[in-house]
Amino acid sequence: MTTREPMRDKVAILIDETGCERGEAELALQLCGYDVQAAVQAVPRLFQNIGIFKGRFCARSESLYGLWIAILNLREKRLLRARAVISYNPAVFATELDQHWFDFEARLYACRLWAGSLQPLSQEVEGVLADLFDSKEARGFYGEDPVEETEFQELERLLARRLGGTVDLEVQQDVLDMGQFQEVVARGETEAVPEPAKPRPRRTQTGAGAEPLILQIAVEPDAEGISAGELSSGDHIPVTINDTRDIGRYLAKLLGSTGEEGGAPLLAPVEAIELGANEVLVRVRFSAGVCGDVALPPDLRVRVERKPAGTPWWKKIFGG
């Protein structure tokens, strides 16, 4: 190709090679001194054609937490893909939105493998996202300007309908040029993205000597049991988790031990006893990093199993 070739031929070649629009081709050629080869390399970097929305949300009344990402082709005004994960695990909601979109999407996929994730519901939410961003009402999302918070009210409404209760939604918008997007996509196709290890509730620890997570628990009386004042370390007693914090609700749902929903009590080993004037403080151990505390009247009778058969439930779930 020489500089004597008609400008219109260069424009046509550039459009065929890159799929850009005529105005974009003319600008690229002008900036590259009408060198077609240089313009082909420059086009992906000159125009911001990719919009990315990263979001997290929670329906606290249902103890549900989620992440979602939508990637849009702004020039063609079409959705490239939408992904989501819904989980009972509050660690999902702790994901930072300001990280690189590729790392955010990798985190989303990893969260799907964690205990507490709800695959059918996650797929439903992906359908909600696809329908929303493919609709005529989504035209406001296909620009390079920041999207107003009011634009996400419809998404909040749709999520609330699927999840139940009020939904708290946080969103961050990124706009990339096609070159930035293609560069990362190419890396993702050739390199395996390492997935974080499946988390356990004890991941709240910060070191070997860190304090364990203490949950509030309840113990049901048993007329045929022994008094709380006679309990000793090593005894196994049935307990339910009634902790109202997010992590407490998550563990209660995961283990099926919540009095509110009729879950069966868990047989947990007593780790420590502290006798007070009018109460007995009892600590049970769920795993290496999770314990439960309860204060009982000294004369309250509690069912005890001193020699439980088989492997304790908490070792099967948490290990250790």
Tally of CA atoms within 13 A in the half-sphere of 206 that contains its CB:
2
Residue at 136 is within a domain: yes
Residue 222 is part of which domain span? 209-318
Indicate the SS3 state at residue 290: strand
Q: What angle do CA 61, 67, 69 make, to 5 degrees?
A: 140
182 and 287 together in one domain: no
Tell me which of 199, 220, 240 is where a domain ends. 199
**Mind listing the pLDDT tens digit of every residue in the chain (320 residues)?**
444 455 668 788 877 776 666 766 776 676 667 777 777 766 655 555 778 899 999 998 888 999 999 988 887 788 888 999 999 888 899 899 998 888 898 899 888 888 888 989 999 999 999 999 988 878 888 877 788 888 899 999 999 998 888 899 999 998 876 555 555 444 444 333 334 333 332 232 333 344 567 888 998 888 889 999 888 888 899 998 888 877 777 777 766 665 555 567 888 888 888 888 788 899 988 766 678 899 999 899 999 986 544 555 445 444 44
Residues 6+ apart with CB under 8 A from 259: 218, 240, 242
Q: Do residues 175 and 62 share a domain?
A: yes
Q: Of 181, 199, 217, which residue is a domain's last?
A: 199
- Residue 14 counted as domain residue: yes
Q: Say if residue 39 is in the same domain as residue 161.
A: no
Angstrom distance (rounded) from CA 226 to CA 298: 10
Is residue 152 in a domain?
yes
Distance (Å, whole) CA 53 – CA 72 = 8
115 with 25, same domain: the answer is no
Claim to verify: residue 96 and residue 23 sit in the same structural domain: no
Question: Contact, 37 vs 18, CB < 8 A?
Answer: no
What single-letter DSSP state applies at residue 60? G
Do 175 and 82 share a structural domain?
yes
User: 180, 199, 218 — which closes off a domain?
Assistant: 199
- Is 177 in the same domain as 228? no
Dihedral class, residue 190 (left if φ above 0, else alpha if ψ from -120 to 50, else beta): alpha
Structural domain includes residue 2? no
Residue 104 falls within a domain, yes or no?
A: yes
194, 223: one domain: no
Whole-number pLDDT of residue 193? 39
Cβ-contact 127, 89 below 8 angstroms: no
Please check whether residue 273 is in contact with residue 280, taking contact to mean a CB–CB distance below 8 angstroms: yes
Based on the fold, state whether residues 183 and 144 are members of the same structural domain: yes
Question: Could you tell me if 152 and 81 lie in one domain?
Answer: yes
Residue at 1 is within a domain: no
Asked, for residue 88, whether it belongs to a domain, the answer is: yes
Query: What is the tally of structural domains in the chain?
Result: 3
12 and 61 together in one domain: no
Instruction: Tell whether 282 and 248 lie within a shared domain.
Output: yes
Non-local CB neighbours of 72 within 8 Å, separated by 6+ positions? 50, 51, 52, 53, 78, 79, 80, 133, 141, 142
pLDDT, residue 66, reads: 94
Tell me the two tokens of residue 5. Answer: 């070739």
Question: Within a domain: residue 204?
Answer: no
